[in-house]
Amino acid sequence: MSLRLALVAFASTLLFAPQPLVRPAAAQAATNSAQPRTQASLALGNALQQVNIAIAHLRQTLDSVNVSKWKAPGDVRHTSESDVYSMQRDVSDTLPALINAALADPAKVSPAFSVYRNVDALYDVLLRVSETAQLAGSNDARLLEDQRTTLEDSRTQLGAALLQSAQAQDAEVVHLRSTAVAAPPPPPAAKTVIDDGPTTKPKSTKKRVHKPATTPAPSPTTPQ
C-alpha cells in the first residue's frame, strides 16, 4: 500500500512540475528582426550627440571671430559678418531645438534628417567663411578650419547613421510582410452545441368556443 502511494506522489510531482518556457518561432523571429533597428537607433543617437558637441564648439569659436580686422575689401567683410551672424543664430537656437527633438525618439528618421539638412547648409556657410579668412590672412582662419573639419566629421557620421536606420526599417518592413504571407490562416472557431433536451410544445392560448346544443325539430303529426 505504501509503494502505491509513493508512485502516485511521484506521478503528481511530474505532472505539476513547472515546464520550461518555449519561445514560439514567430516571437523569436520578431526579436531577431528588431535587433538591427535597435542598433541603428543607438548609432543615430550617438551621431546626434556628436553633432551637438560640434556645434557647441563652433558657437564658442564664432563668438571669438573678429571679421572687422580681416584684411579684405569692405563688401567681402560685410558678407562674412552676415554669414557669421547667421551661423551664430543657427547654432544657438535652430539646431539645438532640432537635435533635442531628434534625440527624444532616435527610432524616428525624419527628425534626424531635419538635423542633417540643417548641418549640411551650415557646413557650406562655414566653408565659405573659413576660406575667406584664409585668403585674408586672418588669425581666425585656423580656428574656423578646425571647426569645419569637426563639423564635417559629425555630418558624415550622422549621414551614415541615417542610412543605417533607413535600411533597418526597410528590412523590418520586408520581414513583416513575408511573415504575414507565410503565416497559415487561423483554424475556424469550434462551434459549441448545447442540448437542452426535448422541447415542449407551447400550449395554445386560443379559447375553445362551445356551440349551443341544437334541439331537434318536432316531427309533423298526421291528422286523424
User: Of 89, 102, 1, nearest to 48 (Cα)?
Assistant: 102
Amino acid at 42: L
For the chain, the average pLDDT equals 79
> What residue spans define the domains of the chain?
29-177
Sequence-distant contacts of 201-210: CB under 8 A, at least 24 apart: none
* Grid coordinates belonging to 70: 580681416
- Is the distance from CB of 79 to CB of 135 less than 8 angstroms? no
Q: For the whole prediction, is pTM greater than 0.85?
A: no
Local confidence band at 172 (pLDDT 50, 70, 90 cut-offs): confident
| Per-residue H/E/C for 154-205 | HHHHHHHHHHHHHHHHHHHHHHHHHHHHHCCCCCCCCCCCCCCCCCCCCCCC
Residue pLDDT, tens place only, 87-144: 999 999 999 999 999 999 988 899 999 999 999 999 999 999 999 999 999 999 999 9
Q: How far apart are the C-alpha atoms of 56 and 42, rounded to whole Å?
A: 21
**Number of Cβ within a 10 Å radius of residue 154:** 22
Region for 137 from its dihedrals, namely left if φ exceeds 0, alpha if ψ lies in -120 to 50, beta otherwise? left
Q: What percent of the chain is modeled with pLDDT above 90? A: 52
Distances (CA, A) of 56 to 50, 82, 106, 127: 10, 20, 20, 17
Question: Does the structural domain 29-177 have CATH classification 3.30.1540?
Answer: no
